[in-house]
Chains A and B, each alone.
Chain A
Amino acid sequence: SQKIEQNSEALNIQEGKTATLTCNYTNYSPAYLQWYRQDPGRGPVFLLLIRENEKEKRKERLKVTFDTTLKQSLFHITASQPADSATYLCALRSGGYQKVTFGTGTKLQVIP
């Protein structure tokens, strides 16, 4: 069956360091992989999208890699700040454009 796995354990990191979150998937051939941020009591907010033919995407302090051979995406936040503390969700588009499936998310805590 199709599965998206993110580290369910919270990631604690010191302010200023680079945070790296992992998203692994099985039995998917995604055309797109997306990363979202979710704060408590709020809906997810889109951050980045990377296509299957792209290896890397950057946006300000964020970097996403996509390895379709390993079936893995890495999400990096450089120079992390306490304001980056949130839950980060990866999402894959399978089949048609419309069906986007989410992982369970990884909670990131940036410690001042």
Chain B
Amino acid sequence: DAGVIQSPRHEVTEMGQEVTLRCKPISGHDYLFWYRQTMMRGLELLIYFNNNVPIDDSGMPEDRFSAKMPNASFSTLKIQPSEPRDSAVYFCASSPPSTQNTEAFFGQGTRLTVV
């Protein structure tokens, strides 16, 4: 398996623009997580899905952030409108069903810069 795949790897956008980050989890994993990493706050959980259903979105900072998982092999994190303080590395991770190992497998991340 190729692991968790995120795109794009880098995104530079102007303030006010819409940004869409994409994630393909590992096949067979039924949990998907979106994290944001900054120097100041470290790795923060934004939202996670189980079987394509959002379970906990309490980490989503504002209404400008939204996430979807239309099927088991694809998820998006959208920011609209983007602001400079959204600049960070966004990671997607997936985990197998809870009866198995509980480790999370992370993608390479998307480095977002909002200017």
Interface residues of A (CB under 8 A from B): 32, 34, 41-46, 49, 89, 93, 97-105
- Binding stretch for chain A, among B60-68, B71-79, B98-106: B98-106
B42 / chain A contacts, CB cutoff of 8 Å? 89, 102-105
The reply on B91 being an interface residue by CB < 8 A is yes
Interface pairs A-B: 6 shortest CB-CB:
A43-B106, A104-B42, A46-B103, A102-B43, A97-B98, A44-B106
Q: Assuming A43-B91, A44-B43, A105-B42, is B108 touching A100 (CB within 8 A)? A: no
- Contact residues in A for B44 (Cβ distance below 8 Å): 102
Residues from chain B with a CB closer than 8 A to the CB of A89 are 42-43
Instruction: Specify which of B4, B55, B101, B103 is in contact with A98 (CB 8 Å cutoff).
Output: B55
Q: Fill in one digit per residue for B75-110: 1 if any A CB lies within 8 Å of its CB, else 0.
A: 000000000000000010101001001111111110
CB contacts (< 8 Å) of A42 on chain B: these are 108-109
Kindly list chain A residues whose C-beta atoms are within 8 Å of the C-beta of B107: 43
Query: Does B45 count as interface, using CB distance less than 8 angstroms?
Result: yes
Minimal beta-carbon separation of B3 from chain A (angstroms):
9
Q: How far is the CB of B7 from chain A (nearest CB, A)?
A: 14
Contact with A along B4-28 (1 / 0, CB 8 A): 1000000000000000000000000
Q: Which residues of B contact A93 (CB under 8 A)?
A: 102
Q: Does B31 contact A (CB under 8 A)?
A: yes
